[in-house]
A and B are shown apart, each in its own frame.
Chain A
Amino acid sequence: MRKTRLSDRLLQISTMLSTLVSIVGLGLIFQFVLSRGLSLLSIDLFTSNYYAHNYIAELKPYEEMTYSMPNFDDEDVYVIERYGLALRQGIDLAGNGVVEVEYVHPDSPFNTMISAEVGVDTVDMNANNIIDRISYVDHPTSLSRRGAEVMASELNDPQRVINQVFFADLGGGIRGSLITTMWLIFMTLLMALPMGVLTAVYFNEFAPVNMLTKTMRTFIETLTGVPSIIYGLLGISVFVPLTVALTPAVNTNLIAGSMTLAVIILPIIIRTTEESLRVVPQDHRAASLALGANKTQTTFKVVLPQATQGILTSTFLAIGRIIGESAALIFVLGAIVRDRVSIFEQSTSLAVHIWSMMTDEPANIALSSTIALLILAVVLILNVSIKLSVYLFEKRGKQ
């Protein structure tokens, strides 16, 4: 009697301990990603290019004057009234000290400059650009590594006349990967959703129950558990050559990536849809048939609409899977970050972007964490959407 009690207690404690460990583990991941990634999170990250672009420019003729500047309540910001410019001592995504442009006055000669590059007329300097160096006539050049404060004081020196400004776009953005991810979601769902739903309808409504269809169902169930790297192999041996043959693509590409993802999410969609078809009351089918509707009408007008909620859930699950997939995509889509995305070329999804940065030397943990944060947020939103849609459908059904 006493012994059973003790073992019961132990079992109970072990369930609590396990829960504690898993919660702490998951919490630590969130905490890590949040602490590393949060600082970089900004709109610029989503809109700017990954690769920095360098510019060389000269000032247009301008009038010497003193610009009235806004008040910067920040000790890292240095104001240059002479040019209507404010510089900030910042750090780049890799953690090196850089001179950032904080503010450019609308009338500043820096606002629109003459490009020193062939074939380009003017070039604009914007906030968040990075100044590499500024050369002067008959004076030593201001270098970014000596810091924003020194550069600002040299610019404020009335003796100096600017020869050329060397500056750059910030870079490090994820716009390209974001666009690729959206393309992937769109094209993959376009292929897999109708196919998956129709397959589920076939299995659940039309297929005869025999050895063959049973085997096929089990096969599809099994596919859900296959590691995605194997789908990557399928993609590289089938979809990449196929797209190379049929489209302008010459290498791994976005279309092949979407096809591979479509195969990955197909079992999810089939299964979830089938599950929701299965719970449609047999009585509804009977009622429809008894009203003189045929089998097809019954299936598409009575049964399938009742699976809408399940199909929506499967779509959300699929989107989560698409966003999270990396292994297979490295094979079929590539791991080279692109700013200009084309469906016939290689690019990276957000998840592969992380992989690509973590395999860089040195690994960019900060930006990876920020992207991870984004992915986590989207997955969270998707899960909440599933719950919400279930709730809304239930509510609407009762109205």
Chain B
Amino acid sequence: MTETEPLVRVEGLVKHFPITRGILIRRQVGAVQAVDDVTFSIARGETLGLVGESGCGKTTVGRTVLGLYPATAGAIVIDGHHVRTAKGAELMAIRRKAQMIFQDPYASLNPRWTVGAIVGEPLRVHKLCRDEKERLDRVKELMQLVGLSPRLINRFPHEFSGGQRQRIGIARALASQPLFVICDEPISALDVSIQAQVVNLLEDLQERFGLTYLFIAHDLSMVRHLCTRVAVMYLGVLVEMAQRDEVYESPLHPYTQSLLSAVPVPDPQVARSRKRVLLEGEVPSPINPPGGCRFHLRCPQAEARCATDRPAWRDVGGGHWVACHRV
């Protein structure tokens, strides 16, 4: 494995959730096609943003990449390990190297555990400390690292504010000294005045430890600020991926164009002059997604072949990927 090899490589990833009927004899009557043939990679030390509307499959991509959901098809490689076939010690190595931070800092922390127990858990699971004393010191160090006073070590999650709870989740994720962290909407539940604190913390930690991030988010403004590259998802597929400013300044896919134009800008003069590309209707169901291009029903530029042929996911130059017949 060379240094230029991406840290994370995902190829042709498919994740379908079966829909079953019947009580005694469960038969599969269909599938939620949550992720359908997704290919991307993430270089060491970079932050890839993954954006798209609610239900388009972002969380499912994240959880499947980490092996938390079994993939239906495709290949996932993290730091040279094949996630889908790893067992035993190799699986533990992946679990240690790749971590996740969740959207809801409340639901993802065990309410009956103290902060010390929560942050110290990965240290215990991965046997990273020789004794209890070393573990305690390490937990305090981690708390300090994310801006929590180590004096609060015996408190419970409900005694913290939303922003502080998110810091606890970050400390827990960092405990096993991971290389790769998936941040699933880590700031969506936080107030504006707190969001910047958490984003700046994520940046500091990345710089300090050379972390690689997959940053899943709704907030396209924050993604532009934080990410080096951005991937746009629609109904289970990637439609566009490129360097951050390339996506925001020269989006090629009609979906990316309308998505970006819908983001409100905190500047009344810009708001008055900006042109919106309003989309008709809503995202179709992933149970019976439209054939051909999944976006064709709402696409202002759709033509006949878009309804029948699935556009290829390809690099149109300089690492700008897009799946659209018209590009």
Q: Do A and B assemble together?
A: no
List the interface of chain B (C-beta within 8 A of A). Answer: none
List the interface of chain A (C-beta within 8 A of B). Answer: none
